[in-house]
Amino acid sequence: MPIISAKGINMPESPIRKLVPYAEKAKLQGKTVYHLNIGQPDIATPEVALNAIKKLDRSVIEYSHSAGFQSYRNKLSQYYKSIGVNVDSNEIIVTTGGSEALIFGFMSCFNPGDEVIIPEPFYANYNGFAQTAGISIVPVTSKIENGFALPPIEGIEKKITPKTKGIVICNPGNPTGYLYSKEELEQLRDIVKKHDLFLFADEVYREFCYDGAQPFSVMNLQGIEQNTILIDSVSKRYSMCGARIGALVTHNKAVLNTVLKFAQARLSPPTLAQIASEAALDTPQSYFTNVIEEYVERRNILVDGLNAIDGVFCPKPSGAFYCMAKLPIDNSDKFCQWLLESFDYGGQTVMMAPATGFYATKGLGKQEVRLAYVLNKDALRKSVKIIEEALKTYPSKIN
């Protein structure tokens, strides 16, 4: 029998999706499962995007340019300039989701065996992208006690070795919802410049910042213009996860030329999804105003509700639509599985993502879970109550 590749064997499972079989079984048993495990918003996609597909009048669904349709890149350039990021259309490569942008970026900037530093906890699929590119993630741990702020810069610099070629951040963050300040980003800028590293910034949640917080893009960090690479996506901004359209943005021509070769090898990003994404750029500001108001209310219901439970601590995030909570339990993997297999409250239960999958350092996250506040407010209130009741009866609760 042929042998599976080592790369395939070492490809990590998604901690966000690995409990799906237990959730499916719970539903077959008649339970209602509230999915707090995955960032799939229930927010409606903008009408302008949907109408662009509904009213499409084409006789051929053709390939686009490998870098994406020129018309879309032109409008993306205008969008970035409107938020203070000055890039031209030829500095943008449209990708099949932000995931492909990261994979192409990693393969263009790093050699197999290179290392990248990432503050943990981080988006779990970064592990898979690193495995695909043959590089190693070196974690630097942020703490739930201070809301997952950037770890001390001295600790980050101590992680740098001759193999270190880059730093990767998500801002606002998935899974933490933390928004890095301009001052924190400038600290990163200084060590990126000192050691001539690449700085990748996953900024797909920039539209979702709360309580007056304002995002600062790495593209506006002075002195490292050739080092910065912006990763973007329409998935969350326009609630278009299934469109699978992202972008890689950089001023570095050598990176752009190399990424384009990978883009040519996969031919082109999806044509229909690019049409919808281009139209989505005409989404009125009122859409985002309403969405942000809705997410703030959802965040407050979930986070305040969790913090009202004895023994639970959940820092209030400033962005995205995720939070991390520390629970009085022995093992978050076991607890999340137990919720689906063995517990219900009035025929209902919740599905959460164990935080262990968001840490690269073994042993961390065992008392933490990630929750996405992407459900309606009533579902979130019910979810909080279910978690509260579950913690009363969980056999391995820590007092």
* pTM score, whole prediction: 0.95
Q: What residues have CB less than 8 Å from 144, skipping those under 6 apart? A: 313, 315, 324, 326, 368
Query: pLDDT digit string (tens) for 373-387?
Result: 999 999 999 999 999
- How far apart CA 382 and CA 111 sit, in angstroms, is 48
At 399, the pLDDT band (50, 70, 90 cuts) reads low
pLDDT given for residue 201 in this prediction: 98
pLDDT at 14: 79
**Banded model confidence at residue 17, pLDDT cuts 50, 70, 90:** confident
Q: Distance between the two ends of the chain, CA-based, in angstroms? A: 51
- pLDDT value at position 366? 96
Quick check: do 6-44+286-393 and 61-280 share a fold?
no
d(CA 326, CA 319): 19
Percentage of the chain exceeding pLDDT 70: 99
Q: Which pLDDT score is estimated for 390?
A: 97
The pLDDT score that the predictor gives to residue 12 is: 86
* Class of the CATH-defined domain 6-44+286-393: alpha beta
Residue 36 pLDDT greater than 70, yes or no: yes
| Summary mean pLDDT of the chain | 96
User: Given pLDDT bands bounded at 50, 70 and 90, which one contains residue 396?
Assistant: confident
Q: Are 283 and 207 in contact (CB under 8 A)?
A: no
Average pLDDT over residues 91-113: 98
pLDDT of 271 reads: 98
| Chain-centre distance for alpha carbon 69 | 25
Distance between CA 143 and CA 149 in Å, rounded? 7
Predicted confidence band of residue 199 (pLDDT cuts 50, 70, 90): very high
- The whole-number average pLDDT for the span 93-113 is 98
- 39 confidence band (pLDDT: 50, 70, 90): confident
What percent of the chain has pLDDT above 90?
95
Cβ proximity of 353 and 16 under 8 Å: yes
| b/e 286-305 (16+ beta carbons within 10 angstroms → b) | ebeeebeebbeebbebbbeb
pLDDT in tens, 264-298: 999 999 999 999 999 999 999 999 999 999 999 99
Q: What is the pLDDT of residue 398?
A: 72
Q: What is the mean pLDDT of residues 164-193?
A: 98
Give the right CATH number for 61-280 from 3.40.640.10, 3.90.230.10, 3.90.470.20, 3.30.450.20: 3.40.640.10
Would you say residue 52 has pLDDT above 70?
yes
Delimit the domains of the chain by residue range. 6-44+286-393, 61-280
